[in-house]
Amino acid sequence: MREIQAYLRPDGQVGIRNLVLVLSMVSCSNTVVSRIAQKTGAIPITHEQGCVEFEEDHRRTKLALLAAGRNPNVYGVLLVGLGCEQTSMADVKQAIADAGKPVEGILIQEEGGSPGAEARGVEIVRRLQEEAGKQQRVPCGAGGLVVGVQCGGSDWTTAVAGNTVIGAMADHVTRNGGSVLMSEVMGFPGSEHIVAANAVSREVGLQVLDMVSDLRAEYVELYGQTIEEVNPTPGNKAGGITTLVEKSMGNVRKMGNSPVQGVLQLGDPIPRPGLWVVDNRAQGPDPFNVTGFAIQGANVTVFSSGRGSPVGCAVMPVIKITGNPVTFRNLESITDFNAGVVVEGKPIPETGEALYELLLEVAGGKPTKSELNGNVEFTIPREPARKKPRDGCSQGGV
Amino acid sequence: MKKAIRVEKEDNVAVVAQETLKGDRLDCSGLEIAAGADIPLGHKIALVQIDEGSTVVKFGVPIGRAKLPISTGDHVHVHNVADITEELCNDYEKKFRSAGA
């Protein structure tokens, strides 16, 4: 079993970074959060929500905020609120404290306004940073890694090189006792028979098929057309994709070949290590999906992009790879790994192994391009309100 | 030599890694094939003869069915492959659900 040098958190989780976060409770406190972060170098999380939200939307906002604080890469948190917002600072604070982390909160209305809140916040963050600096990396099993896999900005190399190499790496992660999280479930229809056949049990196979049946019905309800009627798109076909199975396989290749352990809803704890599907249906830019992994407690994400992407995450390193050697040459400033060697003839298994080695280096502290460039995206994934609750495995009895 | 990538050993197609012209010789992950047609970047080339009605295999799984006889080196795309996604998914799902009933 491989080993990494990492931070062992009070709740037993393994952190590969030791961050101090400044978390905004409501968009009204975003500016104070940004200023505190600028003065201290702490990581800011700002967003456009936190007040006058419908129940389900607000549940998601709260989940995202408290999960950011609970993420194993985080040492401690300062919460900054206005004082009259919908987000309950007490609830968020309690949830983060329950993970054994130092957490403090300030309200602009109680600090004499923004300048007072800023000064107080800077003072608290500096203290948290001093305590964080005393934390030491210790030897931890590589099984503590929870790795999100994703793609975005795809081109013809994404399926055959980028995602296939990520899949080969994912098998090393699970073989060493770690976890892999796969989302992008809107891209599952067309390969659900392959994913379900890879399920650890009949029950999990049914979870996958049920999720995809539900997704297909959602398409018909929302757009009045089946997914097969509009896929592959004319653009896909021009690029060489012939059928929907082929398109969809390009997506699920990232999962590798380990048995699928179950389908998780956002916020469900991961019951045991292995490969998991996260049913995040937010349709939007790539940070929606990365943030979903951060909410699930991933400590790192590996992201392939044929065209190149700078996307990072407030609470974890995002390792950017490309299957396109030209993109790697042009965009090395935002790309960590060249999987384009595969289209130049290098075998996939050894390229996947090299990516796993990079993953371990990053876990041990090597900064990713997303970190060096200060990419700290955190975009709360928004989904249309559900008419009926879905069964995740925390409810489904796995 | 120009290249094409065969993702899994059992695949009967590979993806060409550059614009390919009829007659070009390609190294398809160790297999040398002559292109029987012009094939755009990112499109598929047949590694063996694929009979009409048999499956096109990529990523180690059937992705479609030949609707015409396809010769080694041919361009493999919508003009000679039928999309059988619904059939593959529905058949699997029916079998899977009824097996436990």
Distance CA B66, CA B58 (A): 13
DSSP labels for A38-91? HHH-PEEE--S-SSS--HHHHHHHHHHHHHHHHSTTEEEEEEEE-SS-SS-HHH
Q: Are residue A221 and residue A284 in the same domain, yes or no?
A: yes
Q: Are residue A68 and residue A159 in the same domain, yes or no?
A: no
Residue B56, chain A, CB below 8 Å: the answer is: yes
A197-255 residue pLDDT tens:
999 999 999 999 999 999 999 889 888 999 888 899 999 999 999 999 999 999 999 99
Q: How many domains does chain A have?
A: 2
Q: Are residue A212 and residue A79 in the same domain, yes or no?
A: no
Q: Are residue A347 and residue A233 in the same domain, yes or no?
A: yes
Q: Is residue A276 part of a domain?
A: yes
Distance CA B86, CA A245 (A): 9
Domains defined along chain B, listed by start: 2-99 (2.30.130.110)
ipTM: 0.97
Which residues of chain A lie closer than 8 angstroms to B92, CB-CB?
192-193, 196-197
Q: Are residue A203 and residue A300 in the same domain, yes or no?
A: yes
User: What is chain A's mean pLDDT, rounded?
Assistant: 95
Which residues of chain A lie closer than 8 angstroms to B67, CB-CB?
none
Instruction: For residue A4, list its beta bridge partners.
Output: A140
Residue B27, chain A, CB below 8 Å: the answer is: yes
Q: Is A70 exposed, middle or buried (0-12, 13-18, 19+ CB in 10 A)?
A: buried
Give the domain extent around A249: 141-396
For residue B101, the model assigns a pLDDT of: 52
Q: Is residue A344 part of a domain?
A: yes
A170-194 residue pLDDT tens:
999 999 999 999 999 999 999 999 9
pLDDT bin (cut points 50, 70, 90) of residue A396 is very low
Q: Is A84 exposed, middle or buried (0-12, 13-18, 19+ CB in 10 A)?
A: exposed
Residues of A near B (CB-CB distance < 8 A)?
155-157, 159-161, 164, 189-190, 192-194, 196-197, 202, 205-206, 209, 213, 228, 237, 239-240, 242-246, 248-250, 253, 342-345, 348
B58-84: burial string, b at 16+ Cβ within 10 Å, e else: bbebbbbbbeeebeebbbbbeebbbbb
For residue A388, the model assigns a pLDDT of: 54
Q: Is residue A5 part of a domain?
A: no
Does residue A265 register a pLDDT over 70? yes
For residue A387, the model assigns a pLDDT of: 52
A134-144 residue pLDDT tens:
999 999 999 99
Please tell me which of the candidates A237, A245, A342 has its beta carbon nearest to residue B5: A342
Which one of A202, A206, A243 would you mutate to disrupt binding with B, by most B Cβ within 10 Å of its Cβ?
A: A243
Q: What percent of chain A has pLDDT over 70?
A: 96
Distance CA A150, CA A382 (A): 18
pLDDT bin (cut points 50, 70, 90) of residue B39 is very high
Q: Are residue A342 and residue A276 in the same domain, yes or no?
A: yes
Distance CA A140, CA A137 (A): 9
Q: Are residue A176 and residue A221 in the same domain, yes or no?
A: yes
Tokens for A240, please give them: 């060489």
Q: Are residue A34 and residue A74 in the same domain, yes or no?
A: yes
Q: Are residue A352 and residue A384 in the same domain, yes or no?
A: yes
Whether B15 sits inside 8 A of A164 (CB atoms) is no
Q: Are residue A126 and residue A179 in the same domain, yes or no?
A: no
Among A329-333, A363-367, A387-391, B58-62, name the one with the lowest average pLDDT: A387-391
Q: Is residue A55 part of a domain?
A: yes
Of A104, A134, A164, the position where a domain reaches its end is A134
Distance CA A94, CA A105 (A): 11
Does residue A346 register a pLDDT over 70? yes
Does residue A149 register a pLDDT over 50? yes
Q: Are residue A150 and residue A123 in the same domain, yes or no?
A: no
Nearest to A138 by CA among A269, A16, A35, A278: A16
Q: Are A271 and A321 in contact (CB under 8 A)?
A: no
A25-50 residue pLDDT tens:
999 999 999 999 999 999 999 999 99
Whether B77 sits inside 8 A of A240 (CB atoms) is yes
pLDDT bin (cut points 50, 70, 90) of residue B18 is very high
Q: Is residue A262 part of a domain?
A: yes
Amino acid at site A239: G
Which one of B12, B44, B89 would you mutate to disrupt binding with A, by most A Cβ within 10 Å of its Cβ?
A: B89
For residue B22, the model assigns a pLDDT of: 98
Q: Are A103 and A125 in contact (CB under 8 A)?
A: no
The CATH number that applies at residue A90 is 3.40.50.11900
Q: How far is B77 from chain A (nearest CA, A)?
A: 5
What interhelical angle do B85-99 and A202-223 show, nearest 10?
130
Q: Are residue A157 and residue A293 in the same domain, yes or no?
A: yes
